[in-house]
Amino acid sequence: MQTNINDVAQQANVSIATVSRTFRHPELVAKKTRDKVLAVAEELNFSISRSATIFQTGQSFRIALLLNDQFASWFNSRIFEGLDSVFHPAGYDLSVYPIASQNDRRSFFSTLPVRRNADAVIVPSFNIDLGEAERLRSTGIPLIGINALPADAFTLSIAIDDKQAMRLVVRHLISLGHRRITFFRVKHDSDSSLKFSASQRAQGFLDECRDNGIAPLVLDVVEDDSRVDQALTQLLTLPDMPTAICCQQDSLAVPLIFKLQQYGYEVPRDISVTGFDDTYYARQIGLTTVRQQPRTMGAIAAKRIISLLEGNDVETKHEVLPVQLMFRTTTAPARRLADD
């Protein structure tokens, strides 16, 4: 049997109230009493039961995190890490709800399993339905978006501007003289509206091309282990090889470069390639890409949420973090036509 607060109180010749205070508000307890209690607690292997505390508090100290995707993806695992780095020390636990399809999502928002069972719901990276958001928020649970839209569906939101970031990339390529640029988009089997960033990036590409009078070419690959081969096949059967390739994410760009080189295309001499995310591999191979820092986003979000839950006014409700174009060695000036 576990020892409880009663055992300690008895053994230490104090009331349970004093034991509780010793842990909760030590400053209200005389040092002598406190030491006695702590000694007994130590001896009896006692510590306050979080379940009981949580129960009596009425707060759940649980944060629901909806994940649309492989949990272990680059983005998601870093978001989690950032969130947990703040939440865990503050006594909150994260509870991961897998949302793989629109159906999952609908079911989540109609049964609201988090009702009374989570202090907040965090939605990274997918579009949300205004009605659903409203339904959740009407239960008093704040809804927080990370790279998600529309902003006004959320109590708080934090994001990067994927569209703008991709425009940066395209502008970079254009300034290097590229005019034949191909964009590779990764199609997910699951519902695409669960992948908010993906569509934003493609849109940014299209917009920037249009503004510069360039005919954009967007190619799709399905998100499976053959995605790079799919990309390569499409590239090599193009009537005109592009001079630059924009990939939706590093995880496509890195192996693509590898394979292009195997097929005799030198990067960036023959063709420039860009990524998005700034992953470890991007840094290692010198990929030109966009740096975003999901871990930081998670940590900031967590801090805001805690502040909100503690009843403070949150100054910034909707924040957009800056990103950085990392100009490295996989992009170079387009070869002049005369060189061909």
Would you give the DSSP letter of residue 277? B
Applying the rule CB under 7 A, the residues between 66 and 105 that interact with DNA are none
* Beta carbons of 260 and 232 less than 8 angstroms apart: yes
Cis preceding linkage at 98, omega within 30:
no
Q: Shortest approach of a second copy to residue 150 CB, angstroms?
A: 25
CB atoms within 10 A of CB 248: 28
Member of 56, 138, 175, 262 binding DNA (CB under 7 A): 56
Question: Per CB under 7 A, does 10 bind DNA?
Answer: no
* Beta carbons of 250 and 279 less than 8 angstroms apart: yes
Say how far apart CA 49 and CA 22 lie, in whole Å.
14
SS3 call for 315: coil
Binding region for DNA (CB under 7 A) out of 9-17, 87-95, 176-184, 241-249 = 9-17
Phi, psi (degrees; rounded to nearest 5) at 328: -125, -135
Say how far apart CA 320 and CA 158 lie, in whole Å.
6
Say how far apart CA 300 and CA 20 lie, in whole Å.
32
Site string for DNA, 241-280 (x = CB under 7 A): ----------------------------------------
Which of a second copy, DNA, none does residue 5 bind to, with CB < 5 to 8 Å depending on kind? DNA
Member of 10, 38, 40, 53 binding DNA (CB under 7 A): 53
Say how far apart CA 287 and CA 330 lie, in whole Å.
5
- Encoded tokens for 213: 């009078």
Which of a second copy, DNA, none does residue 251 bind to, with CB < 5 to 8 Å depending on kind? a second copy
Q: Shortest approach of DNA to residue 140 CB, angstroms?
A: 13
Number of residues that make up the chain: 340
* Beta carbons of 4 and 46 less than 8 angstroms apart: yes
Which of a second copy, DNA, none does residue 149 bind to, with CB < 5 to 8 Å depending on kind? none
Q: Shortest approach of a second copy to residue 167 CB, angstroms?
A: 28
* Beta carbons of 285 and 272 less than 8 angstroms apart: no
Which of DNA, a second copy, none does residue 228 bind to, with CB < 5 to 8 Å depending on kind? a second copy
Q: Which residues bind a second copy (CB under 8 A)?
A: 2, 45-47, 49-52, 54-55, 58, 60, 62, 70-72, 74, 77-78, 80-81, 84-85, 88, 93-98, 112-113, 115-117, 139-140, 225, 228, 251, 254-255, 258-259, 261, 280-281, 283-285, 295
Residues that bind DNA (CB under 7 A): 2, 4-6, 13-18, 20-21, 23-25, 28-30, 32-34, 48-49, 52-53, 55-58, 116
